[in-house]
Structure 1
Amino acid sequence: MGRQVAYRVQAGDWDSGRVESPDSVLVPYGGPEPGSGRRVEWRVQVWTDVGESRWSAPSWWETGLLDPSDWRARWVAPVEDVVPPPGRRPAHLLRCAFRLPDRAARARAYATAHGVYELFLNGARVGDMELTPGFTSYHHTLQVQTYDVTGLLAPGDNVIGAVLTDGWYRGETGYHRRANGYGHRLALLVQLQVEIGSGETIVLGTGPHWRSTNGAIVAADLIEGQEVDLERARCGWASPGTTEDCWSPVEPADHDLSRLVSSPAPPVRRVEVLRPVRVSALGPGRHVVDLGQNVNGWVRVTNLGPAGTRLTLTHGEALGADGDVTMEHLRPRNHDTGELLGAGQVDRVTSAGRAEDAFEPRHTMHGFQFVRVEGCQGSLTQDDVTGVVVHTDLRRTGWFRCSDERVNRLHEAAVWSFRGNACDVPTDCPQRERAGWTGDWQLFVPTAAFLYDVAGFSLKWLRDLAADQWRDGRVTNVVPDPGRTAERDDDFLTSLTGSAGWGDAAVIVPWEIWRNYGDRQVLEDQWASMVAWVEFAARTAREARHPDRAARRPQPAPHEAFLWDSGFHWGEWLAPGESSPDFATFRTLDKGDVATAFLCRSASLLARIAALLGREDDVARYARLADAVRGAWQAEYIGPDGRISPHTQANHVRALAFGLVPDELRAPTAANLVTLVREAGTHLGTGFLATPDLLPVLADSGHLDLAYELLFQDTAPSWLSMIDRGATTIWEQWDGIDGDGVPHASLNHYSKGAVISFLHTRVAGIQLPDDGAGYRRFAIRPRPGRRIEWAEAAHDSPYGRIESSWRIEGGRFHLRVVIPPGTTARVELPDGRSIDVEPGPASFACES
């Protein structure tokens, strides 16, 4: 296999010519900017040290509407004389009839909304995207979807229509279920551009000639659920030949066109359907459907019964002792009022008695494994209900299997947890909050980037992080952050803004995208946001002290100028034995040990990022800051024996993972961590922030056997105790279902599932170097341990597939690897040998 020495790219009218370079990933387009709606075909040719390739088959990309002046359509709003309360607001139907003088040779529809919309053309649903336009910081960015509708148009009469509901724009969102986060009125913007056979281009769009009414969807909310009365359905409403009786003219809406963008992420789609594993009867007309898997999405129900039959579907993650769906563990409490809120996730449908009807709610979503169905006129079978899995249609890039089936189930549970929380934004849970918590994503993104291509998904989210960032540099806890119209501290949740470990997502997520994909542009794009966050943290450390420390030491020590112990921090959230705390006390606790560690981590990364971007002055500035913060942390929290205070597993893990411990104390600090684990009965003691690093730190500190012991720990708190108690996704709390079978909090939170990175990087051994990016260089360094006889992993890197597969037979270790073109790898065997490996397959063996 030859090595590339040059390339040539042709794209439209642009020709790079022969470029002497081994680059084959993220090569920039160098041609003129094409206009709006342009399709550009491109192809590539390469030269290697053994010859010249043929031209590749052509591919293409297409531009959308690039400038506000390209929009001839105007925003319109449906008529709403009375707006019902949140959660009970109906869908609106909007439509427009038009004529085409000839067949369509090429046609595009461009659409977006304030709310969630579905587009229809001549009775057919347009495209397969769900929950469009997606969830963004709508005041700053609104995504436009582009559809090829050439095949849906006909000469003569046509009708274009849309279904419009609250969605994220004004529906209930977040822990406190606040509504109207971005506005009080729905709106729609659609432009249709049709090139007809004669060569003429016809442009149509929303405007005063559109009309609106209500239909079968009598209520729709992303959290509360969807209610449909099929007896109210307006059959053929988006088809030619139907009248517009009882339709009202739309109202003009004055909204900005400058914030319209295309999404860098794939869309949300229906990605899988699941047949229930069982349907159980609870009593007359009451059944429980079990999908066998906790998912995000909805169910499709057929056999709806005679006209007037009303079914109620309640979606949950667990069953009570009576076999019924239980929801109590998903009910949040309003911290401002003390009110216990409902769990939502209830759909309702009234049958019209038509045999061809089916109920599939596409203007809500639920996190669930079980569905209680009430109101059935007869029996309900597995043929009547289908689970529909809905999330961002990310490309799978990583796989792992090994000889232990429970470890495989743990891996799949973590994968499913991420799938359930990747619905347009990386959320914490798909049922109670569905919010883009920053801390969760920063700690899971390295794992996610192995499993899926999350580059565009993360870039979209990072743009919203920067948009919602406070002027003083604070990063919001959730991104996007609906309802925040001012930077204030008089609201409970907004008063918690600016936490270490959560706000550090501003630095850590771009860094991990750079490491996994080699995309330097994301660092450029996010530089100002990263700097603003680190400067906020450094300034707060310099200007404020925690009251407890001030009382103990009235005269501050010199190092305290770099000790970040003030403000609110979530800290090592939900360590074993912890549940939601009394916030009146919790928010006053000194968590400087955690916050200072993260300040050092982010300042260190910022110095490295500055070097990559050629910002030499910033390299020196942030390297000095990192050194000063590290010194302050050492002066305050580590003793001469390597013992860290507070004396927790998490603090020892974090100190070793973040490079806070002097070299001469690393071994004693690791030994202290081992002691803490043994004193806990060989159980983990970490919460949100340190769990991803626990097993890698032990393995890399000479305690590989203990890392495997924790992985295989059967009793709680542990990962496999979740699996043994029936988890199909990762739980928010270590005792998500306790020994008595009682559920607690969310049963689908991916954060603790970051442990599977240990399976990818240590068990299978596929590792990025600390100073490399995009897998152009990488290592395969498997670390076999107890109870695993074989393991295999594959990762589709930007350069191609990497494979690592090993087994132990007859006392010998056998390894097979595959190295993709354009890369180099170092293979390190358990016997200590290192071999540099060229692209292609290779096999090795040594004594185990």
Structure 2
Amino acid sequence: MKIVTGHSDAADNGAGGSLFQFSASMIAPQCDAGQGTAGTFVAREFELDAVPSSATLRISALGLYRAYINGQRIGDDLLTPGWTCYDDRIAYQTYDIANALRPGGNRIEIWLGDGWYRSQLMWALNPVFNCWGDRTAAIAEISADGKALLKTDERWTSGFTPVTRNGIYFGEDFDARIRPQDTSGVEILAFDKQLLVPHETKAVKELTERAPVDQWVEADGRTVYDFGQNAGAYVRLRLKGEAGATVRVEHSEVLGPDRFFDNRNYRSARAELSYTLAGEGEEVYAPIFTFMGFRYARLTITGQAELVGIAMVPISSVPVAAGGFTSGVDAVNKLVENTIWSQRSNFIEIPTDCPQRDERLGWTGDAQVFAGTACWLADSGSFLKKFLRDVMHDQRPDGAVPHFSPDPTRLHPIDGRGDWAGSTGWGDAIVIIPWQLYLHYGDVSVLEECFPAMLRWLDYLWGISDGPIIRPPAVWGDHGFTFGDWLQPVGDNRKPRPTVADDCAATLYHFISTELTAKIAGILGKKSDASRLDGRAQEIRSAFKNEFFSPSGRIAHNDQTSWALAFLYGLVPAEYEEAGRAYFRRVSEETDGVIGTGFIGTPALLPALTRLGMLDLAEKMFLNRKVPGWLYQVERGATSIWERWDALAEDGTIYDPDMNSYNHYAYGAVCQWLFEDVAGIKPLEDKPGFEEIAFDPAILPTLSPVSAWHDTRFGRIEAGWSLEGSNVTCRLSLPEGVTARLKGSDDRKQLTADGKVVEPAQELKLGQGEHTITFTI
């Protein structure tokens, strides 16, 4: 069968949709030899007297699938059926296939890949193969004009595809000389069809292709292509040559000194493509069952073959931007763009930490600190809601929330490493992500769905040390172990700067989640839970004061993370606030603008400084070009967000390739501050989903002019401001259905809104339309 690579229109596979009751069977190819072996297909030929006016294919698989009817690819979705905890639920997709059918003989083929279902997950020291099963299989039904036409059953055949090996980390080998032929039968697998649900979010799609911006030939003859952007993607090749000639494609994120091609940070992920030509004119190839994280591709051609064209094809579950931010500082604008690319690259079915190495896991800590930013930059509602269902399924019987989800270690524990669940800051995703979805989309259902899991998590936290103060063990994997402020920089190792201790970090998050869950209980009308949890939050607050504050008002570790989180979440006692402000300012000034926070402290740092009125410090730390700092990586040529502040030295040397990703969105969480504090568009918990906002821009002079936009369920909100001398002019555009609160304040002199004076104690509400606000600073 000749494969045609054109696309067909697919039905909307977004969240929701009615549940279809499959009568088909889950069938596995008898010729399948297991994980890491030649790819297989299942097929069936059928007759039609005439083309029906409507025809629908409903389809899913164990592993990954791609379907063809009469040689035409069905739909343009990627990596279907997607990734979930497959022992909890598996998505199915629905496609309109009428334009692929013809009178007379027809043939459907479903190609199968190992995917997340059975190819390697996790790193080389603790690899997991066949995580959810060792057989790939497909289930499908075709209906025409409302009547059942065809379904997978024992009459289907099977055979081998040109995909000779594939895996998420492995990459893909493809031999175009192989033509699918029916060689075997199928086996009906025992399968619980109640697991099948409509795809809960938008499918992964291709973005616009990117041509190389540069290329060069290495001394040994291999050609390296620079696509100018680090992305979750694959390459599409156009080739001519003799049958049997091969092209090998390697990938990397960065180059070492002297343009040295370096992908050591991929660790055990082979992340390569190998294509063998059929020798039949121009051939086009892009992988079917994998993707990579890369900026550079290196090609090795063996035999008589010519590269006609090459392009990078980025892919994502969130390909459409929902927000944008620009300022008068080009490096800041690039930082926002880099964050968008890191979100796209890592929002591929689940929110992963990175798209390149032998990991690509749904780390809950990364997701919770980034959730707010994710909702600003893309429509992330159904995507994160789907992820939360996996998190809840992976939640342990004792209430511990997994470090990542879907979690291979739940089914395949790692000897000697304890349970990979229960870290504060990570497990709190079960509270914080639903809260962000509520703020951004007004989604009460996600609060209701996750509330029981929140309660179990809070009981787990309290039980770690049997009380409000959490005292985590130091040993990785022990009950209550915490990552703390992961990758918190310490500066000069001869005289390191202070860092938050595990007990302080854990107790801070214990309070944050308890207080939030109390609010959520109130929203859900669960009065007794709200009262009980509010009492528990006050108990944690009191214990935190006694444990971590000295009589002079100094917090125990006097570090930026402790102060930022304590101030942002109201844990600095009123009697210590003045002293605390002085300590916080000093510990921030002592670094000369350098950041001293890691994964959990960084998203809180600038919001805390801003809301305390320390705009000079917030501006200095944000615009710092030294390491650690956001703009350091921009000036080193980053096109996405790095995992580590010091991922590349100034001379281009790679730091610690054993744990170093150049496409990690966590530190991009600063974009939430840009939208909410700098642009001043604050969603409100009493009017969620942007029904009402607070307009309260923080004027950082160097950033002028600032402009931001965000697409809400009501339409687009636009805001911006510019500074001339001490005069600020703001513009605010609101769609129908959105109002904005504007409060007068003593530090904004001569405040006017649309020409009307606003007194310091006054609050004004602005409605649909264009508004001009002016004041002096």
Q: Do these two structures clear the TM 0.5 threshold for a shared fold by scoring above it?
A: yes
Deviation at 1:311, TM superposition (A): 1.4
Q: Output aligned runs, 1:713-752, within 5 Å.
A: 713-744=624-655, 745-752=660-667
Q: Give 1:72 shift.
A: 2.1
1:786-842 residue CA offsets vs partner (Å, 9 max, x unmatched) = 322201001111221111022223653221111121221023574364532111111
Match of 2:166 in 1: 220
Change over 3 Å in CA distance of 1:81–1:847 after alignment to 2: closer
Equivalent residue for 1:318, pick from 231, 254, 259: 254
CA distance in 1, matches of 2:335, 2:306: 32
CA distance in 1, matches of 2:110, 2:770: 52
* Structure 1 match to 2:771: 842
Structure 1 residues 667 and 378, CA gap change in structure 2 (3 angstroms): farther
Deviations 1:186-219 (A, max 9, x none): 1110111111xxxx72331111111111121111
Measure how far apart 1:533 and its partner are.
0.6
**Mapped partners of 2:32, 2:41: distance in 1:** 15
Of 680, 683, 701, the residue aligned with 1:765 is 680
Q: Say whether 1:165 aligns with 2:80.
A: no
Query: Cα deviations across residues 622-654 of structure 1 (Å, max 9, x unaligned)?
Result: 001111111111111112333111222111111
- 1:268 corresponds, among 194, 204, 207, to 204
Identify the residue that residue 49 of structure 1 maps to in structure 2.
none
Aligned with 1:477 (options 403, 407, 417): 403
Q: 2 CA distance for matches of 1:359 and 1:534?
A: 50
Residues 1:651 and 1:380: Cα distance change in structure 2 (over 3 Å): farther
User: Amino acid of the residue matched to residue 261 of structure 2?
Assistant: V
Cα shift at 1:671: 2.1
| Partner AA of 2:619 in structure 1 | Y
Q: Would you say 1:442 and 2:368 are equivalent positions?
A: yes
Note if contact 1:180-1:483 (Cα within 8 Å) is conserved in structure 2. Answer: no
Deviations 1:30-89 (A, max 9, x none): xxxxxxxxxx9xxxxxxxxxxxxxxxxxx999986635xx32211100124643xx5x32
What is the one-letter code of the residue matched to 2:691? Answer: R
Q: 1:387 aligns with which of 304, 312, 316?
A: 312
C-alpha distance 399-323 of structure 1, shift in aligned 2 (>3 A): same
Query: For residues 286-311 of structure 1, what are the alpha-carbon distances to aligned partners after superposition, in whole Å with 9 as ceiling and x for unaligned?
Result: 01111100000100111253322221
Q: Using a 3 Å threshold, how does the CA distance of structure 1 residues 610 and 547 change in structure 2: closer, same or farther?
A: closer
Q: Which amino acid aligns with 1:429?
A: C
CA distance in 2, matches of 1:548, 1:809: 51
**Which moved further from structure 2: 826-835 or 161-170?**
826-835
Provide the residue aligned with 1:797 in structure 2: 712
**Residue 667, structure 1, aligned to residue 578, structure 2:** yes
User: Is residue 109–residue 191 contact of structure 1 (8 Å, CA) maintained in 2?
Assistant: yes
Native 8 Å contact 1:266 1:394 kept in 2:
no
Aligned positions of 1:88-487 closer than 5 A: 88-175=36-123, 176-195=126-145, 201-232=147-178, 234=179, 237=180, 244=181, 246-331=182-267, 342-375=268-301, 384-432=309-357, 433-485=359-411
Q: 1:399 to 1:473 in 2, by over 3 A?
A: same
Cross-structure match for 2:435: 511
Distance 1:62 1:270, change over 3 A: closer
* CA distance in structure 1 between the partners assigned to 2:15 and 2:49 by the alignment: 26
Equivalent residue for 1:624, pick from 530, 535, 539:
535
Q: 1: distance between equivalents of 2:568 and 2:549? A: 15
Q: Which runs of 5+ in 2 are unaligned?
A: 1-10, 493-499, 752-757
**AA at the equivalent of 1:210:** W
Change (3 A) 1:623 1:549: same
How far 1:544 sits from its partner (Å)?
A: 11
Which residue in the other structure is 1:47 paired with? none
The letter for the 2-side match of 1:576 is: P
| Deviation for aligned residue 1:491 | 4.8
1:91–1:220 contact (8 Å) kept in structure 2: yes
How far apart in 2 are the matches of 1:518 and 1:271? 29
* Structure 2 Cα separation of the partners of residues 62 and 635 of structure 1: 47
Assess if the C-alpha contact under 8 Å between 1:576 and 1:733 holds in 2: no
Query: What TM-score, normalized to structure 2?
Result: 0.91
Report the Cα offset of residue 578 of structure 1.
Answer: 8.7
Displacement of 1:407: 0.7
Distance 1:653 1:810, change over 3 A: closer
Change (3 A) 1:761 1:422: same
CA gap of 1:262–1:489, structure 2 versus 1, over 3 A, is same
Give the Å deviation of 1:406. 0.8
Name the SS of the counterpart of 2:312 in structure 1.
strand
User: Deviation per CA, 1:372-407, whole angstroms, max 9, x where unpaired?
Assistant: 1112668987x6110000110454211111111111
Contact 1:790–1:807 at 8 Å: present in 2 too?
A: yes
- Structure 2 counterpart of 1:73: 24
Partners in 1 of 2:318 and 2:98 — Cα distance?
Answer: 24
1:775 to 690, 694, 706: 690
Match of 1:531 among 445, 455, 474: 455
TM-superposition CA deviations, 1:135-182 (whole Å, max 9, x none): 000001100101111111122111111110100100112334421110
Deviation at 1:784, TM superposition (A): 1.7
**What is aligned with 2:516?**
605
CA RMSD of aligned residues (A): 2.5
Amino acid at match of 1:319: L
Distance 1:657 1:419, change over 3 A: same
Deviations along 1:3-34, one digit per CA (max 9) or x if unpaired, are xxxxxxxxxxxxxxxxxxxxxxxxxxxxxxxx
- Closer, same or farther: CA 410–378 of 1 in aligned 2, 3 Å: farther
How far 1:411 sits from its partner (Å)?
0.8
In structure 2, the residue corresponding to 1:632 is in which secondary structure?
helix
CA contact (8 A) 2:28 2:135 kept: yes
The farther-off stretch of 762-771 and 367-376 is 762-771
1:814 aligns with 2:750: no
Corresponding residue number in structure 2 for 1:570: 483
Give, in whole Å, the separation in 1 of the partners of 2:13 and 2:61: 27
Superposed CA offset, 1:438-473 (max 9, x none): 000000000111111111001111111111111111
Taking only the aligned residue pairs, the percentage that are identical comes to 34
Counterpart residue number, 1:584: none
Which is further off, 761-770 or 433-442?
Answer: 761-770
- SS of 1:254's equivalent? coil
Cα deviation 1:742-775 (Å, max 9, x = unaligned): 2230011100111122211122111113543111
The answer on whether the counterparts of 1:566 and 1:592 sit within 8 Å (CA) in structure 2 is: no
Contact 1:268 1:423 in 2 (8 A): yes
Tell me what 2:446 maps to. 522
Q: Note if contact 1:795-1:803 (Cα within 8 Å) is conserved in structure 2.
A: yes
Structure 1 residues 797 and 663, CA gap change in structure 2 (3 angstroms): farther
